[in-house]
Amino acid sequence: MRHIISILMENEAGALSRVAGLFSARAYNIESLTVAPTEDPSLSRMTIVTTGTEEIIEQITKQLNKLVDVVRLMDMTDGPHIEREMMMVKVRAEAGQREEFKRLADIFRGRIIDVTESTYVIELTGDSAKLDAFLQAVDTGKIIEVVRSGVSGIARGEKALNI
Amino acid sequence: MELTGAEIFVRCLQDEGVELLFGYPGGAVLHIYDALYQQDKVQHILVRHEQAATHAADGYARATGKPGCVLVTSGPGATNAVTGIATAYMDSIPMVVFTGQVPTSLIGNDAFQEVDNIGITRPCVKHNFLVKDVRDLAVTIKKAFYVATTGRPGPVVVDIPKDVTAARCEYSYPKKVRMRSYNPTVKGHAGQIKRAVELLLQARRPMLYTGGGVILDNASEQLIELTRLLNFPITNTLMGLGAYPATDRQFVGMLGMHGTYEANMAMHNCDVLVAVGARFDDRVTGNIEKFCPSAKIIHIDVDPASISKNVKVDVPIVGSVGNVLEQLLKLIKAGKARPDPEALAAWWEQIEEWRGLDCLKYDRGSELVKPQYVLETLYKVTNGDAFVTSDVGQHQMWAAQFYKFDKPRRWINSGGLGTMGFGFPAAMGVQLAYPDETVCCITGEGSIQMCIQELSTCLQYGLPVKIINLNNRYLGMVRQWQEFFYQKRYAMSYMESLPDFVKLAESYGHVGMQIDKPQDVEGALKEAMQLKDRLVFLDFITDQSENVYPMIPAGAGQNEMILI
Ligand SMILES: Cc1cc2nc3c(=O)[nH]c(=O)nc-3n(C[C@H](O)[C@H](O)[C@H](O)COP(=O)(O)OP(=O)(O)OC[C@H]3O[C@@H](n4cnc5c(N)ncnc54)[C@H](O)[C@@H]3O)c2cc1C
Ligand SMILES: Cc1ncc(C[n+]2csc(CCOP(=O)(O)OP(=O)(O)O)c2C)c(N)n1
Ligand SMILES: [Mg+2]
């Protein structure tokens, strides 16, 4: 199953490599990994999307928790949560297709954020499935470049990952 | 007053109470060596190879329970130390290793003797630190000792660039450190304790399977009390030997690949298994699919990640062994209920029947020196009271089987990584910790040659280690597998061109003896033990074809042992 695991870590040099090293050393899957500082400059927040059996996910969370730099961890998938990923897609948009791209972007609540005579850059936010769906809807021949931020997640309601 | 980083380093070790620092100098740590030179509280032991520094510190830690300390230079000094760091990591040994580093301004420049110590050691340390500012040095060292010695212990590396050791700042050593990201759970959860006690009291065929965690936590006393109170059979892993007295009736021997028949059969047939500070290693479980088919399992471990890693357990208890055993004892003693004595009597009868098979028997009439006989005799000659370190191979297994450890921290070997070359430097660490005790290193002609240069260190510091070389002219453990599983194609397992070990020992100023007849074994061992202040190298020319029995072959269950 797919899990979204968020961790708060000491914002120290090498923290990212400890997590990345753990996943490669133990041969765990990693779909995406994002990391950025939080409102507290001493902490950074990492979101990892991974897949595995329940046993493997249990080991992943235990091994992550065991890292001395990890302050707190939450498996978003355990409860109601919001998942978001941002994507920018550069497409070849020439005369006849410009309207169609505009319509498609609207349907997915995307925005066109860069325009040239022959290209558009479309920005899209949503869960990963929605971004996948958008890409499926676009004629692959027209895609010049895709960049995705990787997933970040937050729990709904009172539950929070903080210290 | 402001001190240099090098002076601060030394003061930190003094304030931490470090007695011994094992190391080897080089450019990046010269400031530190200069500061060490000007004091005499911390004794520096100069080894002959950095790998030996780590093993010696590790041996010291295993024997004393205190963290071992190592200092090596940048680049090759640090890479040479990696094997020893990984060895300590696999067996959860508390150790703090200081590595020199090129000056901060040169880091990343492929500078002379630069290597990414943090990157190289990351997968084999509990944690590591790079100190970039002299003002962080003291607190980082404090944290290193704290992390290394608490929770599940392990090695910690502190990488110190040369300029940091020259820079100055005020010194103060923190009394305590707190790390918000690191808080090991040491007390067992009350609800789990209750569930565990219920299971224990209902058990009809119970089994205690205890490991290195009992020794690491100094919890032998509690373990003995619980075992006796319940009258349960108990087995130890290779790492756990000595935690429960091996000469006691309730002890059924080591379990696992080369464990006893009775221990493995009792494991396989038990209905309640209590794993205490043991990690269900594959050398213990054999084929996981066939492991303890009818048992409910209780697992006590301070590391949550050890629990349900290899084997799914029914009652997980996170906490330190000593605390949790006390909690269990308290609850059991508070009530009147005890396990059904009739069921236990029947279970013991069954176990005695397995024990009656005498799975460790060997040919006592042989003309050749049998390794088992050497170890039995060593046990007798040392009254079972020596510190015994071991290298890796057949000799290690025989030592574990035939030397009966009644006390913890007396049996010192590399179990998790299985590092040949460990035994001799580890023995130096033990001997330095206990100058008046008998320290024996059980080794083979393959293993001993991996750190033989330390004969020189022993001469320098007058370390009277007794080296028991079970010389079978083979990488015996490898040869055994080739005999069993590769139709006797002995690829590269024959040790040719061996040195004359007696002369070798003598050339380093030690005593050497060669023994090739069974009738000379006891006399030689006695003579060696009487040479209290000399290192004696006993080269036993043993039966080349001897194999370690019993054995669980790869893929088999614990009930499918090969017996002799
Ligand atoms: C040639 C060879 C053959 C071998 N054959 C065998 C064999 O036949 N039988 C055998 O048993 N082994 C054998 N081994 C050793 C094996 O590889 C493992 O090293 C060993 O089985 C592990 O022992 P352990 O489970 O006690 O764990 P250890 O490695 O000692 O781990 C200790 C466990 O206790 C926990 N712990 C640590 N501190 C505490 C604390 N304070 N409180 C609570 N828990 C704590 C740790 O988290 C860990 O889970 C062999 C090794 C070699 C090299
Ligand atoms: C550093 C290292 N290299 C290789 C091995 C693999 N290995 C395990 S046991 C063994 C043979 C050891 O030979 P020896 O020391 O003579 O002991 P014996 O088995 O003959 O008693 C080898 C090569 C190892 N454990 N460690
Ligand atoms: Mg040999």
Helix axes B5-16, B137-149, angle to 10 degrees: 30
Mutate which of B375, B420, B448, B501 for ligand 2? The one with the most ligand atoms within 8 Å of its CB, which is B420
Report the residue from B119, B127, B309 with minimal CB separation from A68: B127
Q: Please enumerate in sequence order all residues whose Cβ is within 8 A of that of B210, keeping only pairs 6 or more positions apart, or say none.
A: B223, B234, B235, B236, B237, B240, B243, B244, B275, B276, B277, B278
Q: Residue B44: helix, strand or coil by DSSP?
A: strand
DSSP label of B437: S
Q: How far is the alpha carbon of A13 from chain B, nearest alpha carbon, in Å?
A: 9
**B163 residue type, one letter:** D
- How far CA B353 is from CA of A29, B263, B471, in Å, comes to 48, 12, 35
Q: What residues in chain B have per-residue pLDDT under 50?
A: none
What is the distance in A from the centroid of ligand 1 to the CA of B225? 22
Cα–Cα nearest to B416, from B84, B5, B53: B84
B471-504 pLDDT, tens per residue?
A: 999 999 999 999 999 999 999 999 999 999 999 9
Q: How far is the alpha carbon of A85 from chain B, nearest alpha carbon, in Å?
A: 28
Enumerate the residues of chain A whose CB falls inside 8 A of the CB of residue B127.
68-69
DSSP string of A144-161, one letter each residue: EEEEE---EEEESTT---
- How far CA B471 is from CA of A29, B71, B369, B420, B467, in Å, comes to 46, 33, 10, 15, 11
Mutate which of B62, B147, B254, B284 for ligand 1? The one with the most ligand atoms within 8 Å of its CB, which is B284
Q: Residue B540 class from Cβ within 10 Å (0-12 exposed, 13-18 middle, 19+ buried)? A: buried
Cα–Cα nearest to B146, from B194, B171, B121, B179: B179
pLDDT at A95: 86
pLDDT at B540: 98
pLDDT at B295: 98
Q: Residue B42 class from Cβ within 10 Å (0-12 exposed, 13-18 middle, 19+ buried)? A: buried
pLDDT at A13: 84
Please work out whether the CB of residue B476 comes within 6 Å of at least one atom of ligand 2: yes
pLDDT at B564: 84
Mean pLDDT by 10 residues, chain A (163 residues): 96 92 95 95 96 96 97 96 98 92 96 96 97 95 96 96 92
User: Which H, E and C letters describe B73-88, residue by residue?
Assistant: CCCHHHHHHHHHHHHH
Distance from chain centroid for Cα B19: 21
**Backbone phi, psi, residue B352, to 5°:** -65, -35
Smallest CA–CA distance from A10 into chain B, residue: B181
How is chain A split among helix, strand and coil, in percent rounded to 5?
Answer: 35, 40, 30
pLDDT at B1: 85
The residues facing A31 across adjacent strands are none
B336-395 pLDDT, tens per residue?
A: 999 999 999 999 999 999 999 999 999 999 999 999 999 999 999 999 999 999 999 999
Enumerate the residues of chain A whose CB falls inside 8 A of the CB of residue B179.
68
* Pairwise CA distance, residues B297 & B267, whole Å: 11
Q: Please enumerate in sequence order all residues whose Cβ is within 8 A of that of B457, keeping only pairs 6 or more positions apart, or say none.
A: B45, B46, B47, B48, B52, B425, B428, B463
Q: How far is the alpha carbon of A55 from chain B, nearest alpha carbon, in Å?
A: 8
Distance from chain centroid for Cα B374: 22
Enumerate the residues of chain B whose CB falls inside 8 A of the CB of residue A69.
127, 181
Enumerate the residues of chain B whose CB falls inside 8 A of the CB of residue A21.
122-123
Contact of A82 with A153, CB cutoff 8 Å: yes
**Backbone phi, psi, residue B419, to 5°:** -90, 105
> Does the beta carbon of A58 lie under 8 angstroms from any beta carbon of chain B?
yes
Smallest CA–CA distance from B184 into chain A, residue: A66
For the annotated catalytic residues of B, the residue numbers are: 50, 112-113, 162, 477
Structure tokens at A141: 């021949």
What is the distance in A from the centroid of ligand 1 to the CA of B212? 5
ipTM for the complex shown: 0.93
